[in-house]
Amino acid sequence: MPETIKHPVTIPTEKKVGCHSCGLSYLCIPHGLSSSELENLDTIVKSRLRTERNEVLYHAGDNTQRIFAVSSGSYKTFIINEQGRKQITGFYLPGEIVGLDGLGGICPNSTAMALETATVCEISTPELLDKLCQANHNLRNSFMRIVSREISREQQMMMVLGQMSAEARLANLLTGFGVRFRERGFSATEFNLSMSRHDIANYLGLAVETLSRLFKKFQEKGYIRASRRNIKILDWKALYALSKSNCHRKNRGNQNHPDK
Amino acid sequence: MPETIKHPVTIPTEKKVGCHSCGLSYLCIPHGLSSSELENLDTIVKSRLRTERNEVLYHAGDNTQRIFAVSSGSYKTFIINEQGRKQITGFYLPGEIVGLDGLGGICPNSTAMALETATVCEISTPELLDKLCQANHNLRNSFMRIVSREISREQQMMMVLGQMSAEARLANLLTGFGVRFRERGFSATEFNLSMSRHDIANYLGLAVETLSRLFKKFQEKGYIRASRRNIKILDWKALYALSKSNCHRKNRGNQNHPDK
DNA sequence: CGTCACGTTGAGGTTAGTCAAGATGTGTGG
DNA sequence: CCACACATCTTGACTAACCTCAACGTGACG
């Protein structure tokens, strides 16, 4: 089904779950906060929003004034340039924050779309900032850490796209998802991806055909067993090594830079 | 001269210039703030630090607790992976903020190195956050906008690295610098780059040789005149069009996605 | 004036993209 | 419930963009 025929309206649900009773709090803003700090945070978390597959949570350029904590399901974010070329900039799992490119009253650069039925906790950023200011260092730092980690994550992606071979990119993606699933209490070695091969290929800066051949290659080598979106990692060590070591470009620039 | 023999100690200078009298304020955190807000901000801007070429401002993993507003000169930031592979993640000009990957008490992911003699205004992040909290929305938003723009900039870089041809990458870089120099009161079409071809190639995910050939090609086509680090843009329109339109990958994924 | 970092050029190779076609699944309507 | 349409994924043959290796020019600096 074409992505665009889905209507882009989010459906508010009635139930409001507090951060203190949320099973994801250890991954989300609440991580490391005291009970009273949690209550403080709770007051600014609005209702949950539910989005269906391919439904847009917010568009690039929307004056959202909100960020979103993924509660269930998953999202992709992407940017589209003047020529219509798309680049997926992130996949977001429960406990992760979407919309950090739209803080401080500016409009987000990216569009967020649900990869499957998914829900988010909606957080008004003006209110969040007010609350953070009334709160203590803990809550403030907790939020700033999330922002900084998003920047660091994108820097790592620049390394992947700028320096890594196609093999290393996929290995990196697979082990990365493994780690993130494990953090969420699932298996690190067997999981279902919620995104298509097209999405993965775009995210990794590869052609779909190349990606398909890589999946085949990894299977033939016994690293994984992949059946459509179901992935089983059979040789974590090999994948991990691949993800770290295999680069498509010899390190000839700045040879004299021994801080390797 | 190898980068590493430079000693990594910054040299504090005596003079402290307030934000209100800084010629770069329209580009920096102060942009759009009132005079009283400026004074408030001024109280947390520490002394200036001076770094010589190839000197490190901070290392990845340092517990800096600081961010830096570039005051003069320029910096590059880069990350280095386990295998010693390097990826330059940004070039920073006066008025821009370095170190946003180290907010909230975590250590920065990247290392910042001066490309030439350069100075920064040092800002303690715990103090900055405290001040932001005492201040009004304006100051708060001003800072959050800077953070969000950094995230957006890195997303654009993912587009460049993931989707653009080598030609488009260089065109994008050159026009990008042009715009940034113009913002700072310099010519958009004639400027001196402070970084080596190696640095540019690494940043753009290309081999130095490829970059060199591209410079030659752009000259032959009459787009630029480049003599080492001096660049004169002769045909801005052509470069701009190149930077936007030329992709090395046909847009065959998600053909059904007409929100181009 | 020799050294060294930096940049350029040429020849050749390789990775990953392109094009085309077919296979496999999935949703929808008769 | 089946058949058709369509999205998704896979496979093969070919191509090209960019990388690699090697060598040489050039400018800065002691």
pLDDT at A84 over 90: no
CA dihedral sign, ordered B235, B239, B240, B245: positive
More confident residue, A226 or A5: A226
Residue A121 maps to a domain: yes
Interatomic separation, CA of residue A209 and C1' of nucleotide D10, rounded (Å): 8
Across the interface, whether the CB atoms of A155 and B205 are under 8 A apart is answered no
Q: Both A147 and A18 in a single domain?
A: yes
Nearest CB neighbour to A159, from listed B87, B141, B198:
B87
* pLDDT at position B194 over 50: yes
The answer to whether residues B86 and B17 belong to one domain is yes
**Which of A156, A183, A170, A191 lies closest to A238 in space, CA to CA?**
A170
A142 plus A185 within the same structural domain:
no
The residue-averaged pLDDT of A207-234 equals: 95
Which residues of chain B neighbour A3 with C-beta distances below 8 Å?
Answer: 254, 256-257
Q: Given an 8 Å threshold on Cβ–Cβ distance, is B254 in contact with A141?
A: no
Per-residue pLDDT band at B88 (split at 50, 70, 90): very high
Scanning every residue of chain B, which has its alpha carbon at the shortest distance from the alpha carbon of A56?
B259
Distance CA(B94)–CA(A67), nearest Å, equals 30
Chain A residues with beta carbon closer than 8 angstroms to that of B247: 83, 85
| pLDDT recorded at residue B1 | 40
Taking the CA of residue B248 and the C1' sugar atom of nucleotide D17, their distance in angstroms comes to 8
The reply to whether A182 and A105 lie within a common domain is no
Residue B258: predicted pLDDT: 31
Q: Are residues A112 and A175 in the same domain?
A: no
pLDDT of residue B249: 63
pLDDT tens digits, A142-173 = 899 999 999 999 999 999 999 999 999 999 99
Contact B107, A148 (CB under 8 A): no
**Is the backbone of residue A104 left (phi > 0), alpha (psi -120 to 50) or beta?**
left
Is residue B17 assigned to a domain?
yes
Task: Using CA coordinates, name the residue in chain A closest to B78.
Answer: A155
Residue A39 has pLDDT above 50, yes or no: yes
Distance A209 CA to C21 C1' (A): 13
Half-sphere exposure of B235 (CA within 13 A, CB side): 12
Query: In the structure, what pLDDT confidence band is assigned to residue A179 with cuts at 50, 70 and 90?
Result: very high
Cβ–Cβ < 8 Å for A114, B71: no
Q: For residue A83, give the nearest of B125, B205, B244 by CB distance.
A: B244
Residue contact A154–B158, C-beta within 8 A = yes
Q: What is the pLDDT of residue A101?
A: 97
Asked whether strand C has any atom less than 7 Å from the CB of B7, the reply is no
Q: Are A132 and A143 in contact (CB under 8 A)?
A: yes
Instruction: Tell me what the pLDDT averaged over chain A comes to.
Output: 87
> Tell me, what's the pLDDT at B174?
97
Cβ contact (<8 Å) for A101 and B152?
A: yes
Give per-residue burial for A199-223: e unless 16+ CB within 10 Å, then b.
bbbbbbbbbbebbeebbeebeeeeb
Predicted pLDDT of residue A257: 35
Is residue B64 domain-shared with residue B7, that is, in the same domain? yes
Residues B9 and B123 in one domain: yes
Query: Does B259 fall in a domain?
Result: no
Residue nearest to nucleotide D29 (CA to C1'): B1
Mean pLDDT of chain B: 87
Indicate if B84 and B178 belong to the same structural domain.
no
Local confidence band at A247 (pLDDT 50, 70, 90 cut-offs): low
Burial class (CB in 10 A: 0-12, 13-18, 19+), B77: buried
Query: Which tens digits make up the pLDDT trace of B208-252?
Result: 999 999 999 999 999 999 988 999 999 999 999 999 876 666 544
Residue numbers in B 50-89, CB below 7 Å of strand D: none
- CB contact under 8 Å between A147 and B103, yes or no, is yes
B49 touches strand D (CB under 7 A): no
Instruction: Assign A47 a pLDDT band (cuts: 50, 70, 90).
Output: confident
Domain co-membership, A79 together with A104:
yes
Is pLDDT at B81 greater than 60 in this prediction?
A: yes
Same domain, B7 and B59: yes
What pLDDT is recorded for position B123? 92
More confident residue, B89 or B129: B89
**Domain count of the fold of chain A:** 2
Whether residue B255 lies inside any domain: the answer is no
Q: Do B163 and A259 touch (CB under 8 A)?
A: no
Which range, of A10-24, A99-113, A192-206, B30-44, averages the lowest pLDDT?
Answer: A10-24
* Residues in chain A closer than 8 A to B125 (CB atoms): 144
B13 occurs within a structural domain = yes
What pLDDT score was predicted for residue A153? 98
Token pair of B258 as six digits: 């007409």
Same domain (yes/no): B49, B113: yes
- How far, CA to CA in Å, does A244 sit from each of B10, B49, B140, B169? 33, 35, 39, 25
CATH number of the domain where residue B205 is located: 1.10.10.10
Both structure tokens of B84: 């010693």
Residue found under tokens 């320096």? A163
**Domain assignment present for B256:** no
Reference B125, options B45, B205, B214, B201; nearest CA is B45
Query: Are residues B123 and B194 both part of a single domain?
Result: no
**A102 confidence band (pLDDT: 50, 70, 90):** very high
Cβ atoms within 10 Å of B205's Cβ, excluding its own: 26
Q: Does B161 sit within 8 Å of A85, measured CB to CB? A: no
Q: Above 70 in pLDDT, residue A197? A: yes
| pLDDT over 70, % of chain A | 87
- Range in A34-43, B72-81, B83-92, B114-123 with the lowest mean pLDDT: A34-43
Q: What is the CATH number of the domain that holds B86?
A: 2.60.120.10
Q: Is the pLDDT of residue A214 over 80?
A: yes
Domain coverage including residue B227 = 164-245
Q: Which nucleotide is nearest to B164 (CA to C1')?
A: D17
Q: What is the pTM of this model?
A: 0.90
- Residue B190, pLDDT above cutoff 80: yes
Q: How far is the CA of A207 from the C1' of C18 (A)?
A: 9
Q: Which pLDDT value is given to residue B214?
A: 97
pLDDT at A91: 98
> Region B48-59: what's the mean pLDDT?
92
Q: Is the pLDDT of residue B170 over 80?
A: yes
Chains A–B, number of C-beta pairs less than 8 Å apart: 226
Q: Is A81 in contact with B202 (Cβ distance < 8 A)?
A: no
- A208-220 and A197-204 helices, crossing angle to 10°: 100
Q: Which residue of A has its CA nearest to B208?
A: A253
Nearest CA in chain A to B89: A155
Q: How far apart are CA B196 and CA A243, in angstroms?
A: 29
Q: Tell if the CB–CB gap between A144 and B133 is shorter than 8 Å.
A: no
B256: which nucleotide lies closest, measuring CA to C1'?
Answer: D7
Q: A64 CA to D7 C1', in Å?
A: 32
3-class DSSP string for B99-144:
CHHHCCCCCCCCEEEECCCEEEEEEEHHHHHHHHHHCCHHHHHHHH
Q: Which of residues 188-227 of A touch strand C (CB under 7 A)?
A: 205-207, 209-210
Q: Final residue of a domain: which of A154, A177, A212?
A: A154
Tens of pLDDT along A106-132? 999 999 999 999 999 999 999 888 888
Give residues 136-175 of chain B lying near strand D (Cβ < 7 A): 165-167
Amino acid at B129: L
Q: pLDDT band for position A137 (50/70/90)?
A: confident
The spacing between the Cα labelled CA in B37 and the C1' in C18, in angstroms, equals 57
